[in-house]
A and B are shown apart, each in its own frame.
Chain A
């Protein structure tokens, strides 16, 4: 049973080894000529204007949460769409099921909308 996992272990070992060898070689043979611009976090030539550890508005979290919910919804929709025709031959249950699922989510969206969750200001 455990031998079934041997290819996965081999893959892991080879992937890790490949990365380690490449990093090691660049470390050993690569030329190193540091200067202040090169050592800055963003090597784009534009000077930094401040710390990256800002306080973000809590609104971003709300948007992120809403995004996840409707992102997952699409994840569920894809496999459903793939098998939809085959299952429809056996009855309309496959359709009503998804309508109920989407209906619950639409109610949630309507709730967020009415409560002002989609307004930025």
Chain B
């Protein structure tokens, strides 16, 4: 009766066990500064990546009473999420000690959020996806306000909590309406009910789908549900801002894509128009908002909104190439964005985070390595070859053309052109402006150096030799279509 296919649970189980181990460290040494927790977390994240890779390529299954999937799609997102978590932990060493003294809860919360994200990617039931979102969100609310003595950190945390709880309400109401009309919250059974027309009043189902879209759009910060993003991204500790823009965004898209394409794919005639509008608005508002920002974290927050728009284009296309492209783009985005935040962390000092873009004047000559890395990330975010960002955008836009969404592609490409201006503005500031004031020494821990190097090499590798990763991304698609 209680047969369990442990493989389905294994990746999440590794991270869940890791959370408990890190908790035990705190129980044994209540006043530790988080050093041991950080090393343990890195080790555990490595094990979880290894487990996810070793499960790759098996025939897709589901289990635990139809609650979780084990397929390449979930595993690929596990890799994105775990890579984001690992890089964030690397970046965080030294950063925490510098800013507010290390605290071990930090790693505990990051790992709890990671577990929630993995459940979102693997969830086969709307309830599991909801639980994953909550586990991730609650950990993030605390992490955003982790700098307790800073008002902007507290402000971001409070705004995120209030708006996030509100969005959760939309999502839950959507789940309730979908349940009311199909009689189930299981994704595969919803798919069957829709395909066979076993739906109690069509408008009720469509209302549920609309509310689900609102809930997910909030989590991926799509316009017009993006208002929280700039304040939260600016207020959060910089390492956490990088973390939030990579893992949680990818996980929210994982659940969003799976619910919309796999379960509600037969209704795509009803929802693709709404997603079309969302995508066009998100790209435009995100890029126009970023144009006028002087604070680099705020600029990257608007840029993160805009990038959610590009991935939404892949959801509108909803064909094989589009989904593979969207998944691939989220991987590329994780590397280039966390890399950019690693640079911001490295260029800050205690008490002066140095977040004005004008403050980056002369960085390219004073710190050539950091300048080069930042240039690479900005070029990649702008979507210029030969970087990861270019190749990902190429995949998404060509999929949209293939599916016949010419106008959306035109809007996307025009937006990419606009974005070149503010991304390269950072590069211009680093290399072509006279530095003001005296040079400050940059002290990076060896771990932070590893993070910066990994993110740079990843961005370059994905751009120059995308074949093998794109192949993996293509293998995820069969889970949805």
Contacts and interface: CB of A to CB of B under 8 A. Distances in A.
Contacts of A107: 20, 23-24, 27
A93 interface: yes
Most buried by A among B2, B26, B200: B2
A30 B54 CA distance: 79
A90 B23 CA distance: 34
B2 A114 contact: no
B1 A90 contact: yes
Interface in A98-121: 104, 107-108, 110-111, 114-116
Return the 9 tightest CB-CB contacts between A and B, nearest first: A93-B2, A114-B30, A110-B27, A114-B27, A90-B1, A111-B27, A115-B30, A111-B23, A107-B23
A71 B471 CA distance: 49
Given A90-B2, A116-B30, 9 more contacts: A1-B200, A91-B1, A104-B20, A107-B24, A110-B27, A111-B27, A114-B30, A115-B26, A115-B30
A94 B4 CA distance: 13
Interface string B1-15: 110000000000000
16 contacts: A1-B200, A90-B1, A90-B2, A91-B1, A91-B2, A93-B2, A94-B2, A104-B20, A107-B20, A107-B23, A107-B24, A107-B27, A111-B26, A114-B27, A115-B26, A116-B30
A93 B27 CA distance: 28
Contacts of A114: 26-27, 30
A111 B200 CA distance: 48
A115 B26 CA distance: 8
Interface residues of A, number: 13
A105 B357 CA distance: 47
Nearest to A113: B27
Interface residues of B, number: 9
Interface majority SS (helix, strand, loop, mixed), chain B: helix
Contacts of A115: 26, 30
Nearest to B28: A114
A83 B23 CA distance: 32
Interface string A77-103: 000000000000011011000000000
Contacts of B30: 114-116
A111 B30 CA distance: 8
Interface of B: 1-2, 20, 23-24, 26-27, 30, 200
A110 B2 CA distance: 30
A110 B23 CA distance: 9
Nearest to B20: A107
Nearest to A93: B2
Interface majority SS (helix, strand, loop, mixed), chain A: helix
Interface string A50-94: 000000000000000000000000000000000000000011011
A116 B27 CA distance: 11
B108 to A, nearest CB: 9
A110 B30 CA distance: 11
A94 B2 CA distance: 9
A111 B20 CA distance: 10
Nearest to B2: A93
B345 to A, nearest CB: 28
A116 B26 CA distance: 12
A114 B30 CA distance: 6
A59 to B, nearest CB: 17
Contacts of B200: 1
Contacts of B23: 107-108, 111
Most buried by B among A90, A94, A110: A110
A111 B27 CA distance: 5
A69 B26 CA distance: 20
Contacts of B20: 104, 107
Contacts of B24: 107
Most buried by B among A1, A90, A114, A116: A114
Nearest to B30: A114
B342 to A, nearest CB: 30
Contacts of A110: 27
A90 B1 CA distance: 8
A87 to B, nearest CB: 8
A19 B259 CA distance: 45
Nearest to B26: A111
B40 to A, nearest CB: 15
Contacts of A104: 20
A108 B30 CA distance: 13
Contacts of B27: 107, 110-111, 114
A1 B2 CA distance: 35
Contacts of A93: 2
A111 B105 CA distance: 11
Contacts of A116: 30
Contacts of A94: 2
Nearest to A1: B200
A44 B322 CA distance: 71
A89 to B, nearest CB: 10
Contacts of B1: 90-91
B237 to A, nearest CB: 21
Most buried by A among B20, B24, B26, B27: B27
A29 to B, nearest CB: 44
Nearest to B4: A93
A118 to B, nearest CB: 13
